[in-house]
Chain A
């Protein structure tokens, strides 16, 4: 009898105790992309929760484009579903301007803001205030097969030019042995082929818009750059180049099917890992090739952690993002996952670290490329926009993807380069008119 009476009471007491405990804990929802560095961050959840027992992490992991759409819906409607958002250099200034992100102007002193790379910090600031903290940063550079270059007797200069690259691609192109002279992005999308194509246009002396926001896609520089790209990839590229994005080229290069590849610096760690790559011991690095001007020849991108203004758990969210982007975090990853796995491209101290220097011989190239990329001055002639491989306006996602599709169709030979650029120019003009930039 006693037991039956005591039981409900005990259960109630336990439930109340559990509820109290749960209340003391702040649960924050972190939305992130499914890239390797983020997967590592997720696997270190326990480490964070041990250090901060009052905060619990809840993860939402999505593919980049799905995440972007999901976050935009939430942040634009003030849904408040997320306390920490993983966004890129493209979104941060645009969202910050609209007041969607919490300004990070009172970071703790031990966070060492000055240790963050200047160009990355600039890319994540609006009105000189940081609105997101960089989780990892990247630029673009050239990877090549040292063995094939040695065999052909080619010596890589300190700064290769696109003209030279075309000659080498011709020499090394060997379809019988399944080796393409060069691999480049061809898959349409503003973050796919257009990231690369924009840097190519920059270095050929072109720009997306003139100072009055008139699109310049039919300018001689664009004609020359796209003509060069289509010819180079058509003559010496792998079969089906128009459907190759970062992943596909990474797989091709690491299996030994490309002699050269120009793409993100974040591929270096993967190519240098013998478990993932067959060419780890035959790998050469060089800066991204240039043509007319070195300006904007390589991009700048960083994935950053931001706190939406709609989050009700600002304090806990800030604790988390300062932890995940701190020097201590970099060291933690180095010690637990190995030094090639640390998030690159964010802090000077990472590059000064001897362990990292030893594990990642490409570190200096990457650091130099990131330092050197200037989103505010990436074209030969002045522009009204910020961004190296993108234009920092909300309309660019649709413009970039549309232009990317017409360029991909020029690559497959469905239309000529002139026709493709004409279509692209018209479409861009229409979008800019509708958006109110042009009369």
Chain B
């Protein structure tokens, strides 16, 4: 929005009114309108699958598989069926514990490491960062069997602790990278000033670095929560009943035999609802964090 405001009058000024055929004010307005419409169109396009899923959840199974229609008599039967079959809250609780637990753990490890890489870089820092990212390039299924065997031997299969550890490790490279870029944008002088005043490293991090980069840390944390919440491969493979999160809950309603779209949509809606609400509530924080470096 800010860019649009500053840009349009400038463009309109450059354009002679006669050539444009309309007054500069009207042309600017038309452009803004067009851009807004485009913005809305893209937003609608992105949101449409979610909207359709929510809608399908309120249909009957036969209406769900019939020709797409916006007109139907809504029913809660799928929600009732879904709730009868599996206890939603058990799965939701697992999701909350694992997503937030792993994010917390990842931040605890990533903040000191990003700090050292951003402010005390060595010759190998760049290489280390790249190496960390390269672990994300391996398809997870490639390490499934070794991790499964390891978890079996230490008794971590189907435990929240086990899943939290995997998610922490899974998100760590991204969290370190994001924090590293945020920290790097912070002028070193501020930390130096703190040091001059006699702050220890811990005080420096806690009282200067963290408060100053809070939007960045918050958005990194949010991203990590969302990634953990939506992760399906590890949760399906490493849990069975006790630690199964919402992704496993959704997977239990898909079937190659018989109709299931409405029930699957109802289950998916219930699974994404908490994170969607959470996302909306923290939207401001998120956008501020993601554009943190850019507007400075």
Complex: A61 Cα to B255 Cα, angstroms: 10
Q: Which residue of A lies closest to B242 (CB)?
A: A58
Chain-A contact segment, one of B30-38, B132-140, B144-152: B144-152
Partner of A77, one of B149, B158, B248, B253: B149
Q: Does B240 contact A (CB under 8 A)?
A: yes
Q: Which residue of B lies closest to A78 (CB)?
A: B152
Q: Does B252 contact A (CB under 8 A)?
A: yes
Complex: A398 Cα to B132 Cα, angstroms: 34
Contact residues on B (Cβ < 8 Å of other chain), bracket: 20 to 34
Q: Which residue of A lies closest to B252 (CB)?
A: A61
Q: Does A34 contact B (CB under 8 A)?
A: yes
Flag if A73 contacts B145 (CB, 8 Å): yes
Chain-B contact segment, one of A35-43, A106-114, A317-325, A426-434: A35-43
Q: Does A64 contact B (CB under 8 A)?
A: yes
Q: Could you give, for residues 133-169 of chain B, a 1 whenever the CB lies within 8 Å of some chain A CB and a 0 otherwise?
A: 0000000000011001100100001100000000000
Flag if A255 contacts B66 (CB, 8 Å): yes
Flag if B85 contacts A39 (CB, 8 Å): yes
Flag if A66 contacts B251 (CB, 8 Å): yes
B181: A residues at CB distance < 8 A: none
Q: For residue A77, give the distance in angstroms from its CB to the closest CB of chain B.
A: 5
Flag if B237 contacts A80 (CB, 8 Å): no
Partner of A62, one of B62, B145, B236: B236
Chain-B contact segment, one of A10-18, A244-252, A331-339, A353-361: A244-252
Complex: A78 Cα to B151 Cα, angstroms: 12
Chain-A contact segment, one of B3-11, B14-22, B210-218, B257-265: B257-265
Q: For residue B163, give the distance in angstroms from its CB to the closest CB of chain A.
A: 13
A69: B residues at CB distance < 8 A: 237
Q: Does B244 contact A (CB under 8 A)?
A: yes
B273: A residues at CB distance < 8 A: none
Main secondary structure of the interface of B (DSSP, over half): loop
Contact residues on A (Cβ < 8 Å of other chain), bracket: 35 or more
Q: Does B254 contact A (CB under 8 A)?
A: yes
Q: For residue A278, give the distance in angstroms from its CB to the closest CB of chain B.
A: 9
A437: B residues at CB distance < 8 A: none
Q: Does A79 contact B (CB under 8 A)?
A: yes
Complex: A62 Cα to B260 Cα, angstroms: 13
Flag if B149 contacts A35 (CB, 8 Å): no
Q: Could you give, for residues 18-60 of chain A, a 1 whenever the CB lies within 8 Å of some chain B CB and a 0 otherwise?
A: 0000000000010101111001001100000000000000111
Flag if B257 contacts A246 (CB, 8 Å): yes
Partner of B237, one of A29, A34, A42, A73: A73
A60: B residues at CB distance < 8 A: 240-241, 244, 248, 252
Q: For residue B61, give the distance in angstroms from its CB to the closest CB of chain A.
A: 8
B152: A residues at CB distance < 8 A: 77-80
Flag if A81 contacts B251 (CB, 8 Å): no
B148: A residues at CB distance < 8 A: 73-74, 77, 79
- List residues of B (75-112) whose CB comes within 8 Å of A's CBs: 84-86
Q: Does A70 contact B (CB under 8 A)?
A: yes
Q: Which residue of B lies closest to A79 (CB)?
A: B152
Flag if A70 contacts B236 (CB, 8 Å): yes
Q: For residue A337, give the distance in angstroms from its CB to the closest CB of chain B.
A: 14
Q: For residue A20, give the distance in angstroms from its CB to the closest CB of chain B.
A: 20
Q: Could you give, for residues 42-85 of chain B, a 1 whenever the CB lies within 8 Å of some chain A CB and a 0 otherwise?
A: 00000000000000000000100110000000000000000011
B86: A residues at CB distance < 8 A: 59, 61
Q: Does B256 contact A (CB under 8 A)?
A: yes
Q: Could you give, for residues 271-290 of chain B, a 1 whenever the CB lies within 8 Å of some chain A CB and a 0 otherwise?
A: 00000000000000000000
Flag if A34 contacts B260 (CB, 8 Å): yes
A43: B residues at CB distance < 8 A: 84-85
Partner of A247, one of B85, B251, B252, B258: B258
Contacts A78-B152, A79-B157 known; A34 to B255 CB distance under 8 Å?
yes
A250: B residues at CB distance < 8 A: 258
Q: For residue A343, give the distance in angstroms from its CB to the closest CB of chain B.
A: 13
A246: B residues at CB distance < 8 A: 256-257
Q: Which residue of B lies closest to A65 (CB)?
A: B256
Q: For residue A98, give the distance in angstroms from its CB to the closest CB of chain B.
A: 16
Complex: A81 Cα to B152 Cα, angstroms: 9
A135: B residues at CB distance < 8 A: none
B149: A residues at CB distance < 8 A: 77
Complex: A36 Cα to B248 Cα, angstroms: 19
Complex: A91 Cα to B257 Cα, angstroms: 19
Q: Does A276 contact B (CB under 8 A)?
A: yes
B248: A residues at CB distance < 8 A: 60, 62
A59: B residues at CB distance < 8 A: 86, 241
A276: B residues at CB distance < 8 A: 62, 259
B62: A residues at CB distance < 8 A: 276
Q: For residue A261, give the distance in angstroms from its CB to the closest CB of chain B.
A: 15
Q: Which residue of B lies closest to A267 (CB)?
A: B257
Q: Does A63 contact B (CB under 8 A)?
A: yes
Q: For residue B92, give the distance in angstroms from its CB to the closest CB of chain A.
A: 17
Q: Which residue of A lies closest to B263 (CB)?
A: A34
Complex: A77 Cα to B157 Cα, angstroms: 12
Partner of B252, one of A62, A77, A79, A82: A62
Partner of B255, one of A33, A79, A251: A33
Q: Which residue of A lies closest to B256 (CB)?
A: A64
Q: Does A126 contact B (CB under 8 A)?
A: no
Q: Could you pull out 13 A-B pairs where Cβ atoms are within 8 angstroms?
A: A61-B85, A63-B251, A63-B254, A64-B255, A65-B256, A73-B148, A73-B237, A77-B149, A78-B152, A79-B148, A82-B240, A247-B256, A276-B259
Which residues of A are interface residues toward B (Cβ below 8 A)? Answer: 29, 31, 33-36, 39, 42-43, 58-66, 69-70, 73-74, 77-82, 191, 245-247, 250-251, 255, 266, 270, 276
Nearest 8 interchain pairs by C-beta: A61-B252, A34-B255, A63-B254, A35-B257, A58-B241, A81-B240, A60-B240, A251-B65
Using A36-B257, A251-B259 as known contacts, list a sample of 9 further A-B pairs with CB atoms less than 8 Å apart, ordered by residue number in A: A31-B240, A33-B255, A62-B251, A63-B252, A69-B237, A70-B236, A79-B148, A81-B240, A266-B257
